[in-house]
Amino acid sequence: MALSKAQQAKADAYLEKFMTGLKRRNAGQPEFHQAVHEVARDVVPFLQDKQAYKDAHILDRMTEPDRVIVFRVCWTDDDNNVRVNRGTRVQFNNSIGPYKGGLRFHKSVNISILKFLGFEQVFKNSLTTLPMGGAKGGANFNPHGKSDGEVMRFCQAFMSELFRHIGPNTDIPAGDIGVGAREVSYLFGQYKRLENEFTGTITGKGLAFGGSLIRTEATGYGCVYFAREMLGTRGDEIKGKNCLVSGSGNVAQYTAEKLIQLGGKVLTLSDSGGFIYDPKGIDEEKLAWIVDLKTNKRGRVSEYVDKWGGEYHEGKRPWGVPCDLAFPCATQNELEEGDAKTLISNGCQLVSEGANMPSTIEAINIFIDNKLLFGPAKAANAGGVAVSGLEQTQNAMRLSWTREEVDKQLLDIMKNIHRTCVTYGKDGDFINYVRGANLGGFVKVADAMLAYGVL
Ligand code: NDP
Ligand code: 2IT
């Protein structure tokens, strides 16, 4: 797919013009610009010899959400104060299936972050091969320090508006940062009450009411399965490797669990306060303690050192600890250019993204220039939404598959995504997984949009 010098110059000029227009139309949305730029710089050269896509203005259409729903969420706290938050659902693209994607409750949530996440979700969901469009939603609600009653009232108020915009064949939300088992349960309970029907309109549900086995583990397990496939291309494996994991929420916990199961040594975990470094390795017992601390006690990772030893580095990220493999599993832009250079100079061979867009574009450039095995989020963390898709299927069939069955399907899907990345991203001896994921995700959605005509 190598372009001539003239074609490359034309593509570069078009990319610049396209990004200038996108930034003008979406002023003040830096995360959305970043996510689009990362995709467009692969898609624009790919489109050079594809007149049908160009004539149909596919890229302009794919970067404009189908709709954005914004609503007031009004609730009362434990002191009877009236509180107001802003709820949003970005229904980005439903060309290949009903809208699907998580809900994020975090103080930083804004339209730029939700549009970047919704845009990414379109490509990610396409890569899974399941029939799912892309969406994302959430609120600028901070669950930290809130009582269960406050979280319940917030979730019920949030769903009291969202319910009219979603449905099992329309839009199926799920969890993300700040939305775990507790929040999904409150949200689903309220949805069921308002609609007076029991359908799988939310995924990540409890096992007693339609949830799928392995959904809790899926994003983290999938991220490690993807890493294992990448290592396999160089005849290598996870066993014996020193691993850095950031975050300590859902994705980080099950990334760490699978790494330990496969013989890796997990040295770090983190939260928004800082990171812990345990040179002896975080084993299964220590990890179980962390899962309980973060999921049930809602504590801070800093508490780890009093119980298990090791070091706590306040306000810092773990990327300076020497390692073989790195798994950013906390949040966007948590791994910057300087971190990427440090990882490379410390001998890191692989980065597999559990979080969405954790690496900046400058960090990604360093990884690719140094031919590191770099698994971008839309490929490496697609296991979560893939098992959400399997949960929808089980709900529609009114049955539940075994743990082994779901895990096997998850593994097959991650291997398949890896193959797609190789097909679209092979560049001589090197596999550019960023390009592979972008083009592999793009083609199916673009073909569906072409087939529909102008809409
Ligand atoms: P959780 O809420 O379970 O955990 C989030 C973790 O990241 C916590 O440790 C949190 O720390 C930390 N974190 C959040 N924001 C920041 C920040 N601004 N700076 C530093 N640390 C931060 O969320 P998940 O594990 O579900 O999500 C983690 C990432 O994975 C997100 O990028 C999400 O979009 C992505 N993802 C999640 C999927 C899922 O199925 N859940 C699927 C695919 C991707 P603290 O406790 O201090 O807030
Ligand atoms: O970013 C993601 O893929 C998710 N938060 C999971 C979405 C889902 O619908 O399971």
Predicted local distance difference test score (pLDDT) of residue 117:
99
Six-digit token pair at 90? Answer: 């970005």
Tokens of 435: 């390009």
Give, using CA atoms, the residue closest to atom 20 of ligand 1: 272
* CATH code for the part of the protein at 67-198: 3.40.50.10860
Nearest C-alpha to atom 30 of ligand 1 is from which residue? 355
Q: What percent of the chain has pLDDT over 70?
A: 100
Average pLDDT over residues 428-440: 97
Q: Does the CB atom of residue 385 touch ligand 2 within 6 A?
A: yes
Q: Which amino acid is at 340?
A: A
Residue keyed to tokens 């439903």: 94
The tens digit of pLDDT for each residue in 137-157 reads 999 999 999 999 999 999 999
Residue 419's pLDDT band, with cuts at 50, 70 and 90, is very high
- The ligand with the least distance to the CA atom of 354 is 1
Pocket test of ligand 2: the residue of 116, 121, 226, 329 to mutate, having most ligand atoms within 8 Å of its CB, is 121
Pocket test for ligand 2, best of 100, 188, 385 (most atoms within 8 A of CB): 385
Whether 356 lines ligand 2, by a CB cut-off of 6 Å, is yes
Instruction: Give whole-number Cα distances, 242 to 161, 167, 253, 281, 376, in Å.
Output: 46, 44, 16, 9, 20
Order the strands of the 67-76 sheet from edge to edge: 67-76, 82-93, 134-139, 99-105, 171-174
Give the pLDDT band of residue 380 (cuts 50, 70, 90): very high
Question: Cβ–Cβ contacts within 10 Å for residue 151, how many?
Answer: 19
Burial of 213 (0-12, 13-18, 19+ CB in 10 A): buried
Q: Which ligand is nearest to the CA of 220?
A: 1
- CB 328 less than 6 A from any atom of ligand 1: no
Pairing of strands 426-427, 82-93: unpaired
pLDDT for 3 equals: 86
**Residue tagged 């490929």 (tokens):** 379
Would residue 294 be called left, alpha or beta, if left means φ above 0 and alpha means ψ between -120 and 50 degrees? Answer: alpha
The per-residue pLDDT for 1 is 58
CA 374/CA 115 separation, integer angstroms: 24
122: left (phi over 0), alpha (psi -120 to 50) or beta: alpha
The response to whether residue 126 sits with its C-beta less than 6 Å from ligand 1 reads no
Q: Which residue's CA is minimally distant from atom 10 of ligand 2?
A: 385
Mean pLDDT for 122-134 is 98
- For residue 431, which amino acid is it? I
- Asked whether 394 lines ligand 2 (CB < 6 A), one says no
Measured from the CB, is residue 388 less than 6 Å from ligand 1? no
Please choose, from the candidates 97, 134, 142, the residue with its C-alpha nearest in 3D space to the C-alpha of residue 117.
Answer: 134
Of ligand 2's listed atoms, the one at least distance from the Cα of 172 is 9
The arithmetic mean of pLDDT across residues 215-225, rounded, is 98
Known catalytic residues? Answer: 136
Question: Fold for domain 218-375?
Answer: Rossmann fold (3.40.50)
For residue 57, report the distance from its CA to the centre of ligand 1, in Å: 35
Residue closest via CA to ligand 1's atom 31 equals 355
Cβ of 216 less than 6 Å from ligand 2: no
The pairing of beta strand 373-375 with beta strand 134-139 = unpaired
Q: CA 196 → CA 49, 169, 188, 237, distances in Å?
A: 52, 16, 11, 50
Average pLDDT along the chain: 97
- Using a 10 angstrom Cβ sphere, with 0-12 exposed, 13-18 middle and 19 or more buried, the burial of residue 189 is middle
Residue 298 has pLDDT above 80, yes or no: yes
Whether ligand 1 lies within 6 angstroms of the CB of 393 is answered as no
Give the per-residue pLDDT at 2: 78
Residues 322/277, Cβ–Cβ less than 8 Å? no
Ligand in nearest proximity to the CA of 298: 1
CA-proximal residue: ligand 1, atom 32 (nearest): 355
What distance, in Å, lies between the first and last C-alpha atoms of the chain?
Answer: 30
Q: What is the mean pLDDT of residues 64-90?
A: 98
| Ligand with smallest separation from the Cα of 386 | 2
